[in-house]
């Protein structure tokens, strides 16, 4: 099982105490589907069943001094550092004082191959122009040089949850040729700073820009960390353009306090306040509480690492 922590919210930044409690208890509860609200999935968490943990974050500072508690697990971080101001990312901490130093400390502890930089999502308006992004991306790439081997980008998607916010900031939509020219410049900057560039959930083919179509929960990355092949397929629960492989997410929508206006996982400020009001560090379910009518079902999960295949490969067999 690949454990996603979490594409729905920033657990490292806001709920790392809860997460480490879940490791100690050996399980977490989750409502996996909004269409079947009272269905509760009980997810086992232990080194025997978890092949890899993928952490999603904009600020891993609260976890920096607790990485030893993950010594029995394989894991990596997808770490978002953008160039926006408080008008776009109102509660993300100061990049220079908090976010980048935490990124570097984690990289020093676990290796640059296990901390992937996300510059994502990229949006354009009168303030955040292509020239702005190129200038700021260059600064960030230089700051992170030697601390990561990969940068993942994507362009903002307009969905129901962020449509009103996107209209308010008056997005500019460049042509495809302009986007490709822009993307190539970013790829060149990344390469100059020792990074490969990949795209996430992008329908546009950017391969001629030196950008591979990649994903965040990435089979190749996990196989490299484990030194083993994985028997795992695409996560069909994600958007068609998303290349992530199957994982189990233990987060909860409407619980990320960063307040980013492009967010796809927060319905409204009211929903956020309601969920965060339920936060209990000792609860088995994040920013939620069990209710009458809930039905808890043990989730069937399995080890994905193919140890037999690795054994055969050691002897050169197909």
**Confidence band of 100 (pLDDT split at 50, 70, 90):** very high
Is the pLDDT score of 315 beyond 50? no
Residue pLDDT, tens place only, 68-97:
999 999 999 999 999 999 999 999 999 999
- Residue 100: name the closest of 37, 50, 150, 143 by CA: 143
From CA 160, how far away is CA 148, in angstroms rounded?
A: 33
Ordered by start, the domain boundaries in the chain are: 2-314
**Confidence band of 261 (pLDDT split at 50, 70, 90):** very high
Both tokens of residue 58? 């904009």
Phi first, then psi: what are they for 137, rounded to 5°?
Answer: -60, -40
**Where is 23: in which H helix or E strand?**
helix 16-25
From CA 114, how far away is CA 222, in angstroms rounded?
A: 9
pTM: 0.93
């Amino acid at each position: 099982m690949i454990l996603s922590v979490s594409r729905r919210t920033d657990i490292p930044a806001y709920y790392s105490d809860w997460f480490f409690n879940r490791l100690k208890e050996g399980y977490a509860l989750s409502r996996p589907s909004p269409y079947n609200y009272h269905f509760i999935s009980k997810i086992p968490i232990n080194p025997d069943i978890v092949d890899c943990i993928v952490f999603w974050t904009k600020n891993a500072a609260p976890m920096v001094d607790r990485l030893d508690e993950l010594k029995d697990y394989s894991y990596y971080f997808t770490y978002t550092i953008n160039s926006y101001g408080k008008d776009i990312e109102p509660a993300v901490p100061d990049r220079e004082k908090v976010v980048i130093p935490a990124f570097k400390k984690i990289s020093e502890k676990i290796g640059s191959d296990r901390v992937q930089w996300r510059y994502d999502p990229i949006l354009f308006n009168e303030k955040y122009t292509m020239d702005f992004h190129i200038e700021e991306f260059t600064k960030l790439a230089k700051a992170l040089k030697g601390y990561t081997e990969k940068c993942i980008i994507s362009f903002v998607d307009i969905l129901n949850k962020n449509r009103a916010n996107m209209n308010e900031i008056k997005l500019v939509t460049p042509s495809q040729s302009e986007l490709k020219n822009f993307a190539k410049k970013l790829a060149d900057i990344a390469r100059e700073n020792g990074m490969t560039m990949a795209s996430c959930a992008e329908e546009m083919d950017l391969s001629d820009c030196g950008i591979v179509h990649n994903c965040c929960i990435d089979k190749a990355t996990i196989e490299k960390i484990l030194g083993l092949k994985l028997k795992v397929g695409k996560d069909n629960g994600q958007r068609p353009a998303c290349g992530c492989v199957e994982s189990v997410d233990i987060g909860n929508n409407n619980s990320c306090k960063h307040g980013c206006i492009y967010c796809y996982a927060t319905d409204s400020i009211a929903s956020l306040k309601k969920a965060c009001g339920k936060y209990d560090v000792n609860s088995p379910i994040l920013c939620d509480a069990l209710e009458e009518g809930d039905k808890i079902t043990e989730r069937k999960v399995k080890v994905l690492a193919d140890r037999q295949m690795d054994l055969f490969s050691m002897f050169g067999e197909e």
